[in-house]
Amino acid sequence: MRKAFFLVATIFALVAIGTPALAAEAEAVIDSGDTAWLLISTALVMLMTPGLAFFYAGMVRKKNVLGTLMHSFIMLCVMSIVWILWGYTLAFGPDVGGFVGDLSMMGLTGVGMEANGTIPHLLFMMFQGMFAVITPALIAGAYAERIKFSSMVVFSVLWVTLVYSPVAHWVWGGGWIAARIGALDFAGGTVVHINSAAAAFAAALIIGKRKGYLSEPMAPHNLPMTVMGAALLWFGWFGFNSGSALTSGGLAALAFVTTNTGAAAAALGWIVAELMHRGKATAFGAVSGAVAGLVAITPAAGFVTPMGAIFIGLGGGVLCYIAVTLRPRLGYDDSLDVVGIHGVGGAWGAIATGIFAVAAIGGTDGLLAGNPSLVWAQFVGVIATIAYSLTVSLILLKAVDLVMGLRVSEEDEVTGLDLSQHGEEGYSL
């Protein structure tokens, strides 16, 4: 009996001593499943930038195909470095007045293999860095076929520093949009899409229209390339949205389903609108609609049901089709319809999040669940992002134009960016 008593007492003592240590360790444990999913998601988001390159390059004239591809590819190179040096700390460093992060993590100081949630801090940094890569690449659609390569790079670095990083902090880094007004943005409706679209509109205004715009044919030179790019974007978007759950659990699965559903519904919505308006459903329209749906579902992906995603996708497809159709009448030359798809789709998706969000899934109840205040919070987030991005982008574009000049010469524009900016041609036939 005594031996049994001492054995039981010893076991209880060991448990009592070990439990606090085990509990403390559990708080900092990196989950291998979550880490594996985020590694894959980061690679998927990285693939979106080359996908965007093909999507855009197929839509321009053949004399500008390599120049357009370079707009996206160089962002992958440049922003990967900018993000490590100072972008990450501005977006996710300790909060300064709700506006921006401080500089304590410059050069990734203090960012290592330690846990950030259930994944390594370095992995969280890299995942977010892929968002910082593709966002300035999206802007390039507005000034395709007429911007100087060097000026584009300088503007993009300034823009990520002074616009993207602060807005990312507002929404995801502890800043005022999330902390003070409670607006929701699961994977980048405001941070990525509305933000880039406002800058794209500014670029279209400052740089001006392409030579021959609306008076010369400017049809896409390679629609199969655009379709392939859209397919790569759709594939990568699963990492973009589902990865934003930062776990490999049920929330990621929900975002996976709503992402696919929103894209499919929007493609159908665009095609139906196109059939009613023009009498034909085009491949170009189908892939444009799919991208519009991916944009629209992005802020809502982890907050709505699959049925909500259908409504968001359908609305995104129809609204973006109308916006793209109206662009020639509005008098600005957004070459590849960044405003019409990413701006309108992002704004609709953000507001629709306020309509269809369900608290039982995550976040906050929306209008249909009895909480109209979320729609107002979403609206404030949209307007604030547009106002800030548009204003600062106009200033940056004007400054770069004064110092370096933004637009290529008329002769270089007629020759094409491939030869005039890069000294090579996309096709030798």
Alpha carbons within 13 angstroms on the beta-carbon side of residue 338 total 30
pLDDT at 27: 62
Residue 260 has pLDDT above 70, yes or no: yes
182-222 confidence digits (pLDDT tens): 999 999 999 999 999 999 999 999 999 999 999 999 999 99
**Residue ranges of E strands in 97-223:** 100-101, 115-116, 119-120
φ, ψ for residue 407 (rounded to 5)?
-100, 145
Query: What rounded mean pLDDT belongs to the chain?
Result: 93
| Cβ neighbourhood burial of 425 (10 Å; 0-12, 13-18, 19+) | middle
| Distance (Å, whole) CA 388 – CA 169 | 13
**Average pLDDT rounded to a whole number, residues 399-413:** 97
Per-residue pLDDT band for 363 (boundaries 50, 70, 90) equals confident
SS (H, E, C) 143-164: CCCCECHHHHHHHHHHHHHHHH
| Distance (Å, whole) CA 296 – CA 320 | 10
Residue 49 has pLDDT above 80, yes or no: yes
Contacts 24+ apart (CB under 8 A), 417-423: 417/63, 417/64, 417/66, 417/67, 417/68, 417/145, 417/146, 417/149, 418/63, 418/64, 418/65, 418/66, 418/67, 419/63, 421/67, 421/70, 421/148, 421/149, 422/66, 422/67, 422/70, 422/149
**Average pLDDT rounded to a whole number, residues 386-397:** 98
CATH class of residue range 30-422: mainly alpha
| Cβ neighbourhood burial of 380 (10 Å; 0-12, 13-18, 19+) | middle
Strand bridging mode 119-120 / 115-116: antiparallel
Say if CB 303 and CB 323 are below 8 A apart. no
- Contact partners, residue 158, CB within 8 Å, separation at least 6: 396, 399, 400
**pTM confidence score:** 0.92
157-187 confidence digits (pLDDT tens): 999 999 999 999 999 999 999 999 999 999 9
Question: Shortest CA distance to 398 belongs to which of 72, 144, 185, 158?
Answer: 158
Per-residue pLDDT band for 15 (boundaries 50, 70, 90) equals very low
**Residue ranges of E strands in 94-153:** 95-96, 100-101, 115-116, 119-120
The domain locations on the chain are 30-422
Per-residue pLDDT band for 28 (boundaries 50, 70, 90) equals low
**Average pLDDT rounded to a whole number, residues 225-239:** 98
